[in-house]
Chain A
């Protein structure tokens, strides 16, 4: 197994408060990991720290991506290396259309010009897969999007950018049954490429029903308390997190 992401003894502060108290996690190429845990356990903090959010301060430990320490790299460079974070609450940016934004993003990530025609074609194809109207692409980025539309737009960007590692932060929260199904179809599409790795952060199990999962981790109070295979999801589905928090 070649390791794509290697996190060692990671401690992260938000402001003065330590949220993660030393996390170890290794993600191999082509693997799908699920990170579960109750609200406030530090799951999103992990995602933000890996993406390079400057509000999340790494006080100890290391994050290596493809064998390289990425501590000094900002979010822009991490995106260019192939890391993607699907936001729990995508930001509304008025005046920039989703399609212009994605094209700009794609050109930055790939480092080469993107032909408008090819881009449009690919965009239409991916939108269709997510049951999104073409017209979404012409709307301002996330502005006036419903919760479900925002999440779909995050998955659409995922499929367009096709990163090496995607972190999905609570992508299923606030979605109705149909939307969860559509979004998980999108994630499946991403999983088809066996080179791509995935971290799915969630506190429910709905989205996992249709997905292949290699590993499941449970984070409670900023610590990784258990790692298992896909069956751990079922266990938590049955018993919740009580056994960890007791």
Chain B
């Protein structure tokens, strides 16, 4: 007799714990967003004058721009009630032993110290909106690599460079939430890799939110100079809250001539999060941008990392996976603009929907006039785990050059009963068989991640699949 199976809700206990803190430890601004609040934030952060100007200008733009109406609903967001800025009292510290126990214990539950010990060069772990812990292996700084929080970098050696690059790739005018970001951004990382320096070990930053109603607006600015090489890992995990949470971070990446930057993200925001993150990379002659992106969490997501292949012979590779479960509406994708000659892009994305989750995959490939010899392949595959989830693939191609070679392929599939029976006939349980098949489907991403992260991602998939047998 055929047994009907379906995918049930997800057990997120491991990821949804939240360490209780006393409210008194935190400094909060009023709930609404006014020029006074923006000035207050700016003062608190000891901004240079130009930054205050940028914040105030951004606020004006924010007030003018409408909320986007073309994607998943954002009605659950009540911006007037979002505390935009929360920071722990703790001052920046460089020693693990000096990090307050409360914060440390939360991090330990999230596995940060181990991660650092084992394979990472440095950690700029963000607790709420402030970097509280910063460490970097000596050999990396000896190479002249700067990895620091953006606030202190604004007063450091590269202050002018930051002024020249900050929100130039992603200006506040880009969309409403970029404007919001410009007005209230806080925390984040600055990485500078000098010419010719190859950083052997990945740098990691770890963001999370930990106060009800708090938005997070961290800014990441990475500059990889000519011939240099860097792998940066952004990992996210956040505990569960009762009211809507907003994440509107900004990532700006500058990839120099013949340089290579790999930017990996495993994002696992709790399922009440609105993730409206924006990322953009500019690639010079012969440079290469590699994105590895895993989206698992959040309630609603808009995420479309964009790459501008400005230089001749520049390249972009995008490898991504999106897993939309119960109650999730994840709108993800990418945009690649070919401007230089003989530029290439290769996209491989996987999307999984289950328990009524909605996954939308948007890809946009633009080949500008004069971008002769551009080559682009886009490959999107979808796995549907039941009959009531939804998955859409929306490819857009805008080709303005005769000599471009652009291809797109989309596939949709289900887990067949035959495949489950095959694995079960080898002693594997039905639940494990499903998890194995889903993990296997996701291996385009796990193969690209450092081992530790690949294991974490597979655990996450396993966790998502637990209780999936009815």
Query: A-side interface residues toward B, CB under 8 Å?
Result: 51-55, 57, 74-76, 78-80, 84-85, 87, 90-91, 93-96, 101, 104-105, 108-109, 140, 157, 161
Contacts and interface: CB of A to CB of B under 8 A. Distances in A.
Which of B3, B418, B423 has the largest count of A CB atoms less than 10 A from its CB?
Answer: B423
A93 B1 contact: no
A36 to B, nearest CB: 23
B417 interface: yes
Q: Is the interface of B mostly helix, strand, loop or mixed?
A: helix
B437 interface: yes
B410 interface: no
B422 A95 contact: no
Nearest to A75: B424
B441 A85 contact: no
Given A53-B425, A76-B428, A108-B428, 7 more contacts: A51-B421, A52-B424, A79-B427, A87-B425, A90-B422, A96-B440, A108-B429
Given A53-B421, A91-B416, A157 B440 contact: no
A140 B440 CA distance: 9
A79 B436 contact: no
Interface in B427-454: 427-430, 432, 436-437, 439-443
B107 to A, nearest CB: 31
B298 to A, nearest CB: 25
A93 B425 contact: no
Q: Find the residue from A57, A75, A91 having the highest chain B CB count within 10 A.
A: A75
A157 B423 CA distance: 12
Nearest to B439: A95
Contacts of B441: 94-95
Chain A contact residues, majority secondary structure: mixed
Contacts of B3: 54
Contacts of B425: 51-53, 75, 78-79, 84-85, 87
A101 B422 contact: no
Nearest to B423: A93
B441 to A, nearest CB: 6
Contacts of A79: 424-427
A241 B169 CA distance: 76
Contact of B421 (A54, A57, A93, A108): A54
Nearest to A94: B440
A75 to B, nearest CB: 4
B94 to A, nearest CB: 39
Nearest to A78: B425
A55 B436 CA distance: 21
B324 to A, nearest CB: 19
A85 B421 CA distance: 11
Contacts of A105: 426-428
Nearest to B443: A95
Nearest to A107: B427
A101 B422 CA distance: 11
Interface in B168-192: none
11 contacts: A57-B1, A76-B429, A84-B425, A93-B423, A95-B439, A95-B443, A96-B439, A101-B423, A104-B432, A104-B436, A108-B432
Contact of A93 (B427, B437, B442): B437
A76 B422 contact: no
Nearest to B431: A76
B442 A109 contact: no
Nearest to A110: B427
A53 B419 CA distance: 11
A76 B430 contact: yes
Nearest to B428: A108
B458 to A, nearest CB: 10
Interface in B393-434: 416-419, 421-430, 432
A75 B422 CA distance: 9
B81 to A, nearest CB: 43
Contacts of B429: 76, 108
A53 B420 CA distance: 10
Residue from the set B422, B432, B441, B442 with the largest chain A CB neighbour count within 10 Å = B422
Contact of A55 (B417, B424, B442, B443): B417
A80 B417 CA distance: 20
Contacts of B419: 91, 93
**8 residue pairs, one from A and one from B, having the closest CB atoms:** A95-B440, A95-B443, A108-B427, A79-B427, A75-B424, A109-B427, A105-B426, A91-B422
A80 B429 CA distance: 10
Contacts of B416: 91
B117 interface: no
B22 interface: no
A88 B148 CA distance: 59
A74 B424 contact: yes
A208 B465 CA distance: 44
Chain A CB count within 10 A is highest, among B3, B427, B441, B443, for B427
Contacts of B440: 93-96, 140
